[in-house]
Chains A and B, each alone.
Chain A
Amino acid sequence: MSFVTVRDVWQRYGDRSIIERVNLDVAEGEFVSIVGASGCGKSTFLRLLLADERPTRGEIRIDGGEPAREPGRERGVVFQRYSVFRHMTVRDNIVAAESFARFPGRFFGPALRAARARADDTLARIGLAHVAGQYPATLSGGMQQRLAIGQALTARPRVLLLDEPFGALDTGTRLAMHDFLTELRAETNMTVFMVTHDLEEGFKLGDRVLVFDKVRWDPHSPEAFGATITYDFDARDGGIPFQRQLERYPGLAAQAG
């Protein structure tokens, strides 16, 4: 069952090919890590998934729907920086995830009170209740990213896109964020794409790890060809998805034996 379908996607800016011939099928609830060297087009691919850019060729569909022409509520996103609104308090950032969908983008009176109460529940769940009234700039990097993820999930997107979400965090905070993200995933069973330059992180969190690289290379014009998916690892169970089948299903052993 393919939930996110990518068919023969190319992206080029002028003469510069960024990615080419990308085909991908992702099932609902899968966590896909995307790794690769700098400038290999993994962030471009994420922007294509986000519909912030349209591919030069090919199409991307979610659940068989029409290819999107601009970002919308189907796709949630967390960037490395600037993912929350700095002029809003932490609580109002969560409220915005509900209120932005309809003009004028604000709740008033009882609706606002109810939304703020729901936002406080969300903040308690992601451990930010004590800073609800503060502005994001006063928060640490890890707390800001937790807020960004909480905000993105409050809008209930069908696919969550993460662009190096933990890239600017120190190691300890990053490990805590891994646990946080794993917990949230267990609760929501969300389909997630995460771009990272940290291989270990990719394998730890992902069900699949996609590697982007160039397969064709013209030494005279390095920009002639784009990158594509060169490896598609099954990263479940620490990268050995089938070796422990017998431990998990002892019944199989009897049949095999």
Chain B
Amino acid sequence: MRLINRIPSRPVAVALAALPFAAVLIAYALGSEIRLAANPQDKLLPAPATILDTAIRLFTQGDRRTGEILLWQDTWASLRRLALGVGIGAAISLSFGMLIGMLPHARRGLSGFVAVLSMVPPLALLPVLFIVFGLGETSKVVLIVIGITPFLIRELSQRVLDIPHEEIVKAQTLGASSGTIALNVVLPQILPRLISAVRLSLGSAWLFLIAAEAVASEVGLGYRIFLVRRYLAMDIILTYVIWITLLAFLIDWALKYLSRRAFPWMEAGL
């Protein structure tokens, strides 16, 4: 039988999915074991048990001075910035994407500009943002907005153009105005595309968030990682990295679930 026709059975599929995770864990545990055997004070690869202890401490024990749990504070601060940045970016790109996709005049006027804008490396603008907006929350949120919006606009305007011309003509023959078509034909068909585009852009959104927090901040997941780096606190850094990964995964899964529940027609044909 050809390799391309071999399909794993259910238990084999589960085992295959778990395999890379297990391999990485084992490799790390072995490496840590070897280094700690040579030098019990080694900080580079703390034992998995140490990381687990640290994680439990970070999640449950408050700061000795203030009694507040720093990890949760960092999480809320970061998630708030991320939600604001992605939300504002999505709102801007939805309106501009629909304008560019629907109106030939807007398309002529804006699509070239957006194409050039999306080539500006957002991180290079970070100093400008700090100068203009100060070191507070605004500059971090604006960095995320600037980072993801050009991509989202290009993606969404293209998806608007992908709507079959027949459907737009049909709506016109039913007497629909431009506004009615935007509201009843384009918007409902583009919303699931917005969600999937946002899912794609979340990776870069996290990147910009952590970069902005690393440079100047007082609280936040990225800030904490770069703070404890000075003490070589690998156990804390790894806990934070795993926590960020888990958060990103959960957000992605939630968006996918939302898209499925809210737009059943997307999968009606399958």
A residues apposed to B, CB below 8 Å = 50, 52, 70-73, 75-77, 79, 81-88, 96-97, 100-106, 134-138, 151-152, 155, 157
Task: Report A225 CB to chain B, min CB distance, Å.
Answer: 27
Docked Cα-Cα span, A50 to B170, in Å, equals: 10
For the complex formed, measure the closest distance between the CB of A183 and the CB atoms of chain B, giving whole angstroms. Answer: 22
A87 in contact with B189 (CB, 8 Å): yes
Residue of A nearest to B187 (CB): A87
A79-B166, A155-B175 known; A103-B265 Cβ under 8 A: no
How many B residues face the partner with a CB closer than 8 A? 25
Q: Taking chain A's interface residues, is the majority helix, strand, or loop, or is none over half, making it mixed?
A: loop
Does A73 lie within 8 Å of B269, measured CB to CB?
no
Q: How far is the CB of A79 from chain B (nearest CB, A)?
A: 5
Point out the residues of chain A lying under 8 angstroms from B174, CB to CB.
73, 96-97, 100-101, 151, 155
Q: Which of B167, B174, B189 has the most CB of A within 10 A?
A: B174
- Measuring CB to CB, which residues of chain B are less than 8 angstroms from any residue of chain A? 164, 166-167, 169-177, 179-181, 183-185, 188-189, 263-265, 268-269
- A81-B164, A82-B167 given; A105·B183 CB < 8 A: yes
Chain B residues near A151 (CB, 8 Å)? 170, 174
Known: A87-B189, A103-B180, A152-B170. 20 other contacts (CB 8 A): A71-B169, A71-B173, A73-B174, A73-B175, A77-B173, A83-B167, A83-B170, A85-B185, A86-B167, A86-B269, A88-B265, A97-B174, A100-B174, A100-B175, A104-B184, A105-B183, A106-B184, A137-B269, A152-B173, A155-B173
A81 to B269, CA, bound (A): 14
A86 B265 Cβ-Cβ under 8 A:
yes
Contact call B268/A138, Cβ cutoff below 8 A? yes
Decide: A137 and B169 in contact? CB cutoff 8 A.
no
9 A-B residue pairs with Cβ-Cβ distance under 8 Å, sorted by A, are: A71-B172, A85-B171, A86-B265, A87-B188, A103-B179, A104-B180, A134-B268, A137-B269, A155-B175
CA distance A103 to B175 in the complex (A): 10
